[in-house]
């Protein structure tokens, strides 16, 4: 019996999920299994998608639906409920939909392997969308002071205009969770004062297409340690991999 997995988001022109999983299934001899992209323009189309695709048993979720999809789910894994965002949906045997957030595991593994155990600085999280929720959760669990940055300041959020020498010195881990710089708009980048970056800064971009974003290029030119988004994609959450969902981060 054919099993169908897929990805929802809009647009999906930047995504290589379908190619990635099609090749993975072929290379690992996983038969009667396909992966499709579903660029639904409105999140309220999700129920009809499951109705029309009877063989659909799992979805990855990407921009802009990681938060707004929650009302359409019947249950959430505890950590997904805590942060208020999902990136993976499983259709259970009884037809109910359960949401997970494997971004937590994937980013956690990335951070543990990238930042030295002696790192004593804080983390600037660029963006306040669904992906930022998992990043904030992981950084906080690891004991890193966190500061969110957006184009407009607000409750516990500062604007890019607030990023002065003092802030950039205090927070030397910078994670881009925004779509700025993602294909096809590859010349864009978050509005950082890049001249204040130093070799003591660590930069992570969750964007994986292109692999080398302008954000990372600016950091590399100033001697920063950098981590590309596509290297976050291969960490497999053990708890999801055994349950028939699509085990993958989907920033």
In a shared domain, residues 37 and 65: yes
CATH number at residue 219: 3.40.50.720
| DSSP H stretches of helix in the chain | 17-27, 46-52, 78-83, 103-114, 130-141, 165-170, 214-221, 238-241
Please check whether residue 42 lies inside any domain of the structure: yes
Residue 249 placed within a domain = no
Query: Total structural domains in the chain?
Result: 2
**Whole domain around residue 203: which residue ranges?**
104-232
Residues 33 and 150 in one domain: no
Is the same domain home to 117 and 228?
A: yes
* 40 in Cβ contact with 10 (< 8 Å): yes
Together in a domain, 29 and 116: no
**251 residues of the chain, pLDDT tens digit each:** 799 999 999 989 878 889 989 999 999 999 999 999 999 999 999 999 999 999 999 999 998 999 999 999 999 999 999 999 999 999 999 999 999 999 999 999 999 999 998 999 999 999 999 889 999 999 999 999 999 999 888 889 999 999 999 999 999 999 999 999 998 999 999 999 999 999 999 999 999 889 999 999 999 999 999 999 866 655 444 443 333 333 344 44
91 with 34, same domain: the answer is yes
Q: Is residue 251 part of a domain?
A: no
Domain annotation covers residue 218: yes
Residue 43: give its domain's CATH number.
Answer: 3.40.50.10860
Nearest-angstrom CA–CA distance, 1 and 211: 36
Q: Is residue 160 part of a domain?
A: yes
- Asked whether residue 248 is assigned to any structural domain, the reply reads no
**Does one domain contain both 162 and 212?**
yes
Residue 152 annotated among the catalytic residues of the structure? no
19, 24, 66, 152: the catalytic one is 66
**Is residue 180, in this structure, part of any structural domain at all?**
yes
Same structural domain for residues 23 and 99? yes
């Amino acid at each position: 019996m054919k099993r169908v997995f897929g990805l929802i988001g809009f647009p999906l022109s930047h995504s290589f999920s379908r190619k990635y999983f099609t090749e993975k299934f072929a290379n690992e001899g996983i038969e009667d299994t396909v992966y499709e992209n579903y660029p639904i323009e409105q999140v309220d189309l999700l129920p009809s998608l499951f109705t029309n695709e009877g063989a659909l048993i799992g979805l990855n979720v990407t921009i802009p639906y990681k938060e707004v999809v929650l009302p359409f789910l019947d249950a959430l894994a505890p950590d997904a409920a805590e942060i208020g965002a999902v990136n993976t949906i499983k259709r259970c045997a009884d037809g109910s939909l359960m949401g997970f957030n494997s971004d937590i595991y994937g980013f956690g593994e990335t951070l543990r392997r990238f930042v030295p155990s002696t790192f004593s600085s804080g983390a600037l999280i660029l963006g306040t969308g669904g992906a930022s929720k998992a990043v904030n959760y992981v950084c906080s669990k690891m004991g890193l002071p966190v500061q969110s940055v957006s184009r407009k300041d607000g409750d516990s959020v500062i604007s890019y205009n607030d990023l002065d020498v003092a802030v950039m010195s205090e927070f030397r881990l910078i994670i881009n969770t925004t779509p700025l710089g993602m294909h096809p708009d590859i010349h864009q980048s978050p509005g950082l004062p890049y001249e204040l970056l130093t070799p003591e800064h660590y930069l992570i971009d969750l964007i994986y297409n292109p692999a080398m974003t302008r954000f990372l290029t600016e950091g590399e030119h100033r001697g920063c340690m950098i981590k590309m988004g596509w290297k976050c994609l291969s960490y497999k959450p053990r708890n999801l991999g055994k349950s028939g969902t699509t085990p993958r981060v989907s920033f």
